[in-house]
Amino acid sequence: MRPIPVTLVGVGKIARDQHLPAIAANPDFRLVAAVSRNAVVDGVANFTDFDRFLAEGPPSAVALCTPPAARLEMGLKAIAAGRDLLIEKPPAATLGEAETLAAAARDAGVTLFATWHSRFAPGVAPARNWAAGRRLRRVTITWKEDVRRWHPGQDWIWQPGGFGVFDPGINALSILTEVIPGPMHVQAARMEVPANAATPIGAELTLAGPGGVPVAAVFDWRQEGPQTWDIAIEADDGTLRLSMGGARLDIDGLPVEVGPEAEYPGIYRRFAELLARRASDADFAPLRLCADACLTGRQVTVEPFLP
Ligand code: NAP
């Protein structure tokens, strides 16, 4: 059916900032409903209860824009109802949950697209091409932002299953695992957890990338002023730097033209392709690295976070 009917579930910051405009701008999709306990989207059927939507709502694919801890239950219900499914990152609260979702989608024959929006940043594909076939020496990730600016009033990020600073950090890991695909392991990690939170506000990871290339990552949620989302890749014959979360690319200090930022338009283009092929795309490599950091890492308690 074209345009493909789609329902947004969880009408929070990312649904409003990115999903609504991306769906509106893509002629392959038509928003037919929204599910929210608190918000209403104009011009479509609105439901406050997800079960009721599944039972009575219009036929449509589902875009789950809820926090990760709510993903498994809603995702399994949507799949059981035969709905094709797009899920925000992180795909679930744990690797086990994500794998359960993927297996359920496979068994039910529905499309599952576990999105990583940062992989659609315009510098990422050129960076992957540059890195392919080069001898890499090291990778350095610096991902520092102000949690108050990007997660205003959100409590779930500090609760178990809320990911803390891994919520943005997993975006860096999604770029890393796309640009340098292959086996990757966490060797050490240190997480700083505020005394009044369950999840970290800062993290440092040491990883071994494909072929043993050393990767050092720093994630910090306490950066005020200019924000930093940088990945530097040093090879034998040059250095590539992705900045602004992959929106900018420099090679050996010279800027490379990569086109405009269009992460969420890219996500919905890809979702349309997957639906046309009845295929799924569910790569959990970034989630595995976060999980392994938590398994191998040391946690230290730091001063309480005051919103
Ligand atoms: P948010 O503003 O808190 O919105 C999430 C919405 O999900 C809430 O408004 C709530 O909407 C609904 N919801 C359903 N079950 C919930 C539960 N158990 N706890 C809390 N909310 C629940 O969060 P967000 O920033 O949009 O993030 C949502 C997802 O998008 C996360 O996985 C996040 O990593 C990802 N994401 C966020 C950003 C960003 O810049 N914030 C960027 C990219 C991706 P209703 O009131 O409508 O029910």
Q: What is the pLDDT of residues 238-284, one digit of tens each?
A: 999 999 999 999 999 999 999 999 999 999 999 999 999 999 999 99
Output the six-digit token pair for 40: 């209403």
Q: Which residues span the domain enclosing 157?
A: 118-259+291-302
Residue 98's Cα: distance from chain center in Å? 13
* Per-residue confidence (pLDDT) for residue 306, from 0 to 100: 86
Distance 270 CA to ligand 1 centre (A): 22
Pocket test residue of 7, 8, 9, 14 for ligand 1, highest count of atoms within 8 A of CB: 14
Based on the fold, state whether residues 150 and 295 are members of the same structural domain: yes
Q: Kindly give the distance from the C-alpha atom of residue 72 to the centroid of ligand 1, in angstroms, as a whole number.
A: 14
Q: Helix H segments across the chain?
A: 13-14, 20-24, 50-56, 71-80, 95-108, 124-131, 147-150, 166-179, 263-277, 285-296
Question: What's the total number of domains in the chain?
Answer: 2
Say whether pLDDT at 142 is over 80: yes
- Reading the block at residue 38, the tokens are 């608190």
Mean pLDDT of the chain: 97
Ligand 1 site, CB within 6 A: 10-15, 36-39, 65-68, 70, 88-89, 117, 150-151, 154, 156, 167
Taking only the tens place, the pLDDT of each residue in 78-99 is 999 999 999 999 999 999 999 9
Using the 3D structure, point to which of 95, 114, 133 is the last residue of a domain: 114
Q: Is residue 266 part of a domain?
A: no
The pTM assigned to this predicted structure is 0.97
- The answer to whether the CB of 169 falls within 8 A of the CB of 276 is no
- Report which protein residue has its CA nearest ligand 1's atom 39: 14
- Three-state DSSP string of 188-227: EEEEEEECCCCCCCEEEEEEECHHHCEEEEEEECECCCCC
- Are 91 and 228 members of one domain? no
Instruction: Kindly give the distance from the C-alpha atom of residue 300 to the centroid of ligand 1, in angstroms, as a whole number.
Output: 27
Positions annotated as catalytic residues are 89
Domain boundary among 51, 82, 114: 114
277 belongs to a structural domain: no
Residue 108 shares a structural domain with residue 12: yes
Q: Whose CA is nearest to atom 47 of ligand 1?
A: 36
pLDDT in tens, 200-235: 999 999 999 999 999 999 999 999 999 999 999 999
pLDDT at position 209 is 97
- My answer on whether omega of the bond before 255 falls inside 30° of 0, hence cis, is no
Report the pLDDT value the prediction gives residue 274, as an integer from 0 to 100.
Answer: 98
- Region 191-199: what's the mean pLDDT? 98
Q: What is the pLDDT of residue 51?
A: 98
* Residue 264 within any structural domain of the chain: no
97 shares its domain with 155: no
What is the pLDDT, as a whole number, of residue 1? 63
Residue 267 lies in a domain: no
Is the pLDDT at 2 greater than 70? The verdict is yes
pLDDT of residue 307: 83
